[in-house]
Structure 1
Amino acid sequence: MDSLPTEIVLVVLELLPKTSLCTASTLNRSFHRLSRPLLYKSIHIDRLDAFIQCCRTLICSPDAAACVLELELLLDPVVDVFSAFRRLITNALKNLHSLKSLHIGWDAPLLSILDGCTFPNLTNLSSVLQLYPDPEPMRSFLIRHPLVKYVCISGEHSNLSLHQGNLAEGVDDLPHRANHHPLAPAGAFHLPAGALPNLASFTGSRLFAPIFIPGRPVNNVSLAWKASDGFTGSSMLHIVSALANSSKPVESITCYGTDWPMGLVLSLPYACTSLKELKLVKCKGPQEGEHFSDDYERLNFAFDIVLRHLPSLTTLEMPRIPSISSPMSEDLEKASLDSWRRYECGLESVVFPSGAQWQRPSKMGGEWRRLGP
C-alpha cells in the first residue's frame, strides 16, 4: 500500500462506508491522516446523546472540527438538557470554521445556541424550524452569513401573515409593490435589505417568499403551502410581486402543495419573463362533483397563456392528478403538444397530469416522444 499514490488511496477511501473508514483510520499513521478529513467531512446526527459526544470531540480536536464541511442535526431535544449543555454546544459549533452546509431541525427556543456562531464559508442553509416565539436568533444568523447562496426554510412564525389586498388590482404595478412590506404585524420575521446579497436559490413556505426574494439574485424558487392556506387573493399577489422583483431573472419555479395555483401560473409571464422551468407537483385533482373535462380546460387555458408569452420555457411539469390519468389519453397529450407548436416556444420536456413524460431532442424542432409511464 505504501507504493500506491496518495490520490488513488484517497479515491478508495472515499468509496468506503463510515464504519469501514473508521477501521481504515486505525491501520497506521498514513491511513489515519488520510481518513480523518473524510470521517468528519459530513456529520449527520439524529440523537441528542450522540450530538453531545460529537460536541466534546469537536472541542478536544480542533483539527477534526476544521474538516467538517456539512452538518445535519435532526433532533427532538429536551429544553432542560440542551440548556445544561448550552456552552458545550456553542463552543463546539464555533470550531467549525470550514462549514459550508448546515441543516438544523430543533425548536426556536433553542435557536439561541447559534448566537455568536459565524461560519465564514457557509453557502447552504436548511432549516425545519418553527420561528416562534422569537425569530431573532435566526434573523441574526442569516445577517451574519452573507455568502449563503441556497436557503431552505420551512418553519413559520406564529405572527407571520399577509396584508389583505385586492387581487383585481392586477399585476401591472408589481414593481411599485416591492417596497411595500407584506408582513404584519410588527415583530414578525423579516430581513434587512442588505442581508443575503448572494442568495441564488430559495425553497420554503410561500409566506417567506416576499421576505427572501425581492432585491436578491434569486433565480431558483421552490414554494410550498398548506391545503387550507393556498395561493389566494393578496397572498398570491405578494408572491408574484416578490418573483418580479428579484434582482436576477427567475429561471426556475417549483410549487409543492395540495392544489395548483392557477392565479400564480397566469401571472408568470408578467413576473418571470425569462422563466425556463415550471413544475407543479404533488397536487390534488378535481373536487367531488367536478369533471375531468372542466379541469382539463382550465389546464389548457392556463398553459396556453404561459407558453404564448414565455418562449424561454423549456421544461413544464403539470399538476399530477391521479384521478384523470386514465381519461387523459396519449392522443390527448399529443394534441396539446401539437397545439403549442404555434407559439414557437422552446419546450423540450413536458410532464402531463397522468405522469407521462414527453421529450423532443431539440428546441423548435424534432418530434415529441412519450417516455412513459
Structure 2
Amino acid sequence: MIAPAAHHSIPDIALPNETLTVVFDELPPSTLATITRVSHRFNAVAERMLYASVLITDMLAEASPIPYKTLRWCESLLGRPHLLSATKRIHVRWHSDPQYPPPRHLTTPVVKLADVLGLLRYLESLDLFLGPANLAPTCLEPIHAIERIIRDCYFPMLRYCSLGAEWCKGVQPYTHVLGSFLASLTSLRHLKLQDHHSPLNIPSQALPFLTSFRGSPDTAAYLLPGRPVQYLSLLGQDSDVNRENLPRMTDTSVPLRYLDLSAMSARPILLRNISTHMPGIEVLKVRLALRHTLHYALSGINRGFSQDFHPS
C-alpha cells in the first residue's frame, strides 16, 4: 500500500493515467481511498475509479431508519459534478428488519436518489432494490417508489437493469412509468424485475437487444414475444405458470436456450408443460417439491433437456 503524504511532497510518476488505472484496478476500495490522499494526480485517477462502480447496502432498523450510506453517496457525488461522467455502475440495496414496521422517513432518500440518478448519462449497470420504500407511508403521488426514481432518468448506454422492492398484497403497484422507462433503454441486454406481477405493455420495437430476463411469469409473457431472449428465470409459484402465459413465453425471436425454475418449487405437471411448449431448451435448472420423487417427476419429459436438478 502507498502511504498517504502531503500532495506537494510526492514526485510525479512517469506513467500514463491509463497505466495507473490498470495498476489501481487490482486494489480494494479502502486502498483506493488512501491513494486519493497521496498526490493530486493519484487523486484524480483513484477518485474516478472509486465513483465508477458504487456498491451500497443500507440496513434499516428501528434505531437506524434512514439509508445514511445512500444519502452520503448522493451528497458526495453532487459535490463532485466532474465525476458524473465516470459513474458506470450503481448497486444500491435497502433492507429492513422484518420484526419492525416499515420506516416512515424514506421520502427524502428516494427523492435525493432520484435527483442523482437523473444526472447520470453514462450508466451501464443499475441494480436498485429499495426494500420497504414502497411499503412506507408517503404524501407523494400514487406511483411505485422505484418509479419515483426512474421516471426522469435516461440511460442510453445501460446494458444491465435490476429493479425491485419488498412486496405484499395491497401495496402501490407499478404504473405506465415503468414501461416508458424500459422503452427508453435502447442498449439493454439484461433485465430483472423482482416485484412486478402483472402484464407489462411496452412498444414492440423496444428492447431490441434483450437477451435475458428474470421476473414473474405474467411479466415474461408480455415482455418476451418478438425479442431475442435466450435466458429466462422465473420467480413466484409454479402455479403462476399457466396455459395462458406459458405459450406466450415461447414466442421469442430466437429460441430460448436456458430456463431457470429454481426460485420456485416445481411439480411434475409444470415440467411436463415446459417439455411440451419448450422442447428446444438446452439447460433446465429446477427445484423439485419434496413430495415428488425424481423418478415420477421425470416420467414423460423430453430427454433432450440438459437437466440441472436441485431437489428440495
Distance in 1 between the 2:16 and 2:87 partners?
Answer: 25
Alpha-carbon shift at residue 244 of structure 1 (Å):
1.7
Q: Secondary structure at the match of 1:241?
A: helix
2:138 maps to none
Aligned pairs for 1:251-266 (under 5 A) are 251-266=257-272
Matched residue, 2:291: 286
- SS at the partner of 1:118? coil
1: distance between equivalents of 2:108 and 2:263?
39
Aligned: 1:207 with 2:218: yes
Instruction: Report the counterpart of residue 231 of structure 1 in structure 2.
Output: 239
Matches within 5 A, 1:49-64: 49-64=68-83
Answer yes or no: is 1:101 the counterpart of 2:125. Answer: yes
Cα distance, 1:223 vs structure 2:
1.1
* Counterpart residue number, 1:155: 195
CA distance in 1, matches of 2:75, 2:114: 11
Could you tell me the TM-score, scaled by structure 1's length? 0.65
Contact 2:279/2:302 (8 A) holds in 1: no
Q: Decide whether aligned partners of structure 1 residues 299 and 100 sit closer, same or farther in structure 2, where only a CA change above 3 A counts.
A: same
* Distance apart, 1:273 and its partner CA: 4.3
Q: Provide closer, same or farther for how the CA distance between residues 264 and 86 of structure 1 changes in structure 2, counting only shifts above 3 A.
A: closer
**CA distance in 1: counterparts of 2:233 and 2:173, whole angstroms:** 25
> Taking structure 1 as reference, are residues 113 and 249 closer, same or farther at Cα in structure 2, changes over 3 Å only?
same
| SS of residue matched to 1:237 | coil
The equivalent of 2:172 in structure 1 is 133
- Relative to structure 2, which stretch is displaced further, 78-87 or 59-68? 78-87
1:199 aligned counterpart, secondary structure = coil
Q: Does 1:317 align with 2:276?
A: no
Q: Deviations over 1:81-115 (max 9, x none)?
A: 44346654333112211111111112444231322
Q: How far did 1:199 drift?
A: 1.3
Amino acid at match of 1:110: A
Per the alignment, residue 302 of structure 2 pairs with: 306
Determine if contact 1:280/1:318 at 8 Å carries over to the other structure: yes
Other structure's SS at 1:193 match: coil
Q: Which has the higher helix share?
A: 1
TM-score w.r.t. length of structure 2: 0.76
Change in Cα spacing, 1:153 to 1:86, as seen in structure 2 (3 Å) is closer
Give the CA deviation at 1:134. Answer: 3.8
Which of the numbers 131, 134, 151 marks the counterpart of 1:115?
A: 151
Asked whether the 8 Å contact 1:59–1:95 carries over to 2, the reply is no
Q: Distance in 1 between matches of 2:274 and 2:307?
A: 13
Deviations 1:262-290 (A, max 9, x none): 33432345433432211113x33226xxx
For the residue of structure 2 that corresponds to 1:55, the secondary structure is: helix
Is 1:243 aligned to 2:283, yes or no?
Answer: no
Match of 2:231 in 1: 220
User: What is the SS of the residue equivalent to 2:266?
Assistant: coil
Task: Write the deviation string for residues 130-176 of structure 1: whole angstroms up to 9, x where unpaired.
Answer: 4942412322221221321111112044xx4xxxxxxxxxxxxxxxx
Judged with a 3 Å threshold, the aligned counterparts in structure 2 of structure 1 residues 225 and 23 are, in CA distance, closer, same or farther, namely: same
Change (3 A) 1:10 1:113: closer
The Cα shift of 1:7 comes to 4.8
Cα offset, 1:79, TM superposition: 7.6
C-alpha separation between the residues in 2 aligned to 1:276 and 1:65?
A: 42
Separation in structure 1 between the aligned mates of residue 264 and residue 232 of structure 2, nearest angstrom: 18
Q: Secondary structure at the match of 2:222?
A: helix
What value does the CA root-mean-square deviation take over the aligned residues?
A: 2.7
Q: Give the equivalent residue in structure 2 for 1:89.
A: 113
SS in 2 for 1:44: strand
